[in-house]
A and B are shown apart, each in its own frame.
Chain A
């Protein structure tokens, strides 16, 4: 039994490493910039969804306001660089820490709410922040921020000639988010989170400090999402409130996990690998005239999944006993 469990953990790690190597070699074959762009976005959303999954999947606190942390990461990095010349790497760290702090502050207020009330609170808070940024002149208000280009360099994390450095960073980010989940899954925190999700009252009786568990999950989740936001700001080099804090980002973080399998290790990766290329392709091939066809595809997919495979696509694979489902 224990041996099976250890074997499965090792197998997960091995599969992840193999996938990472394959992904790392992909640019050798994929020269098309458009396809590279899709790959970068897929990896980014895999990372974001994996991070979202920590709070909403494992700990069961469904957030539809994670665009807030994504936006905060993007803005912190961009503003620090533009106004004070702080390197994006530090901006990334600052954005992550700021988001984690804010997530805990909001958690302090909102974790008393349960179920739908909590979800609604997350949406509302993200929308309010979006409005604030729309009107905050120092941060560029509705016009946003054009991140000044200072030439290609890893130090400034800017690349104008090739997308490949972004690709590799997104890959590392996805690997980090996956590995953090893998590591936490078999830890006190992972067990506490799942217990809190399933039955907070029983968890409490077994010594689980429910409130702290949620706070921990919120902090880790927000930190990683903010790092993703920082990356995105550098990648697109122009941000405005709508393009980094809009509600669609909250959805795009949640959907891959839901599609692949919420609260599972592989769900977000699997979901992102299917959903993001699909979105990008439908958008460019059939989205042009009547905007929103991509959203129809989305909706259909979600309905089909919730009808046929409520536990997500991972439930198609041989059962992973002794693990989160």
Chain B
């Protein structure tokens, strides 16, 4: 069976800066994959290329057997790519339920149906009690969950999570982890960018480490954290020797 998502030799240059060089990764159906790496490793760039914010300078991106390299973000959403934003982008003047309805409207134009779906998703993400609150009145952790809820309402095959667990209290982060597991149980594949290693590692099936725009290491989380190259990338060469 082919991978759900595949990048083939993807390059992204911003002027003289090479953000991604020759990145080839693949994400299989039903996996939870963590995309990690130190600051400036090119995680967010790769994430945006996959989500369709901008096309890569070179290389191709395949989703569900289709070349989506030049496909606009909205169309990728229709094909089954859902995403959240690192800096939360709620529809601030709309209520929580209305935020989610926007997502649900990708699959139906019948309002009753979209509203029903939105309630279902709010129930699933634990936001049901906040349905009629304005998005601007939510606390940060709830806003993160709203981002996930909105993306789930589009019924994605692949959910892209951009640092949804960063900056949360340990309890909130744990709730987030549980939610991601629950999402996967419904058959959705998850690709998540994170840099809080201790939260991500127990959660993901596989970790891809980016450094300086390249794939450094890829494998089981337990192996990845022990890899000298990873330790060196995060902490410097001195610490890698001890491993």
Whether B35 sits at the interface, judged by CB under 8 Å, is no
User: Quick one: given A194-B94, A321-B132, are A206 and B150 in contact (CB under 8 Å)?
Assistant: yes
A198 interface hit (Cβ, 8 Å): yes
Chain A nearest CB, measured from B83 CB (Å): 5
> What's the least CB distance linking B85 to chain A, in Å?
7
Interface check B7, CB cutoff 8 A: no
Check B77–A206 contact: CB distance below 8 A. Answer: yes
Q: Does B92 contact A (CB under 8 A)?
A: yes
Question: Does residue A233 face the partner (Cβ distance < 8 Å to B)?
Answer: no
Contact B77–A202 (Cβ < 8 Å): no
Once the chains are docked, how many angstroms separate the CA of A192 from the CA of B103?
10
Task: Report chain A residues within 8 Å CB of B53.
Answer: 201
Q: What's the minimum C-beta distance from A62 to chain B, rounded to whole angstroms?
A: 15
A208 to B53, CA, bound (A): 14
B78 and A207: CB pair below 8 A?
yes
B85 contact from A188, A194, A202, Cβ within 8 A: A202
- Asked if A199 is at the interface (CB within 8 A of a chain B CB), the reply is yes
Asked if B89 is at the interface of the complex by the 8 Å CB criterion, the answer is yes
Q: CB of B20 within 8 A of chain A?
A: no
Interface string of B29-60 (1 = CB under 8 A from A): 00000000000000000000001010000000
Assess whether B106 is in contact with A206, with CB atoms less than 8 Å apart. Answer: yes
Contact of B77 among A5, A207, A324 (CB under 8 A): A207
A236-281 contacts to B (CB < 8 Å): 263
Please tell me the number of chain B residues within 8 Å of chain A, measured between CB atoms.
Answer: 37
Residues of B within 8 A of A204 (CB): 72-74, 77
Cα A289 to Cα B91 in complex, Å, equals: 49
Of B78, B101, B131, which one neighbours A1 at CB under 8 angstroms? Answer: B131
Q: Which A205-221 residues have a C-beta within 8 angstroms of B?
A: 205-210
Residue A325 is within 8 A (CB to CB) of chain B in the complex:
yes
Q: Is A41 an interface residue (CB 8 A)?
A: no
Binary per-residue interface labels of chain A (290-322) against chain B in the complex, 1 for a CB within 8 Å, 0 otherwise: 000000000000000000000000000000011
Contact B89 A206 (CB under 8 A): no
Q: Given that A1-B119, A202-B85, A206-B154 are contacting pairs, would A322 and B95 also be in contact in the complex, using a CB cutoff of 8 Å?
A: yes
Q: Which residues of B contact A197 (CB under 8 A)?
A: 93
- Which of A191, A199, A205, A207 lies in contact with B101, CB distance below 8 A? A191
> Judging by beta carbons under 8 Å apart, are B74 and A198 in contact?
no
Contacts of A263 in B (CB 8 A): 93
Contacts of A186 in B (CB 8 A): 111
B106 surroundings in chain A (CB, below 8 A): 206-207
Q: Is A187 engaged at the interface, CB distance under 8 Å to the other chain?
A: yes
Contact in complex: A1, B132 (CB < 8 Å)? yes
B61 at the interface (CB under 8 A from A): no
Establish whether residues B111 and A187, one from each chain, have CB atoms under 8 Å apart when the complex forms.
yes
**Are B91 and A209 touching (Cβ within 8 A)?**
no
Q: Is A2 an interface residue (CB 8 A)?
A: yes
The reply to whether the CB of B102 lies closer than 8 angstroms to some CB of chain A is yes
| Residue in A closest to B147 when the chains form the complex, CB atoms | A202
Asked whether, in the complex, the Cβ of A322 is within 8 Å of the Cβ of B132, the reply is yes
A210: contacting residue among B74, B75, B85, B90, CB under 8 A: B74
Q: Chain B residues near A55 (CB, 8 Å)?
A: none
Query: Out of A1, A206, A324, which one reaches B102, CB within 8 Å?
Result: A206
The smallest beta-carbon distance between B111 and chain A, in angstroms, is 6
Contacts of A206 in B (CB 8 A): 74, 77, 102-103, 106, 150-151, 153-154
| Complex Cα spacing A188 to B105, Å | 6
A203 at the interface (CB under 8 A from B): yes
Residue interface mask B115-153, A partner, CB < 8 A = 1:
100010000000000011010000000000000001101
**C-alpha spacing A174/B33, complex, angstroms:** 55
Q: Is A97 an interface residue (CB 8 A)?
A: no
Contact B109 A198 (CB under 8 A): no
In the bound assembly, the distance between CA atoms of A325 and B132 in angstroms comes to: 13
> In the complex, A197→B85 CA distance in Å?
17
3 A-B pairs with the lowest CB-CB distances in the bound complex, closest first: A207-B106, A207-B77, A198-B91
Q: What 8 additional pairs, Cβ within 8 angstroms, besides A5-B115, A188-B111, A199-B91?
A: A186-B111, A194-B98, A198-B93, A202-B91, A205-B51, A205-B73, A205-B82, A324-B94
A binding-site residues for B, Cβ under 8 Å? 1-2, 5, 186-188, 191-192, 194-195, 197-199, 201-210, 263, 321-322, 324-325
30 residue pairs from A and B, CB less than 8 Å apart: A2-B115, A5-B115, A188-B105, A188-B114, A191-B105, A194-B98, A194-B102, A195-B94, A198-B91, A199-B90, A199-B91, A199-B92, A201-B89, A202-B91, A203-B91, A204-B73, A204-B74, A204-B77, A205-B73, A205-B74, A205-B82, A205-B151, A207-B75, A207-B77, A207-B78, A207-B103, A207-B154, A209-B74, A263-B93, A325-B134
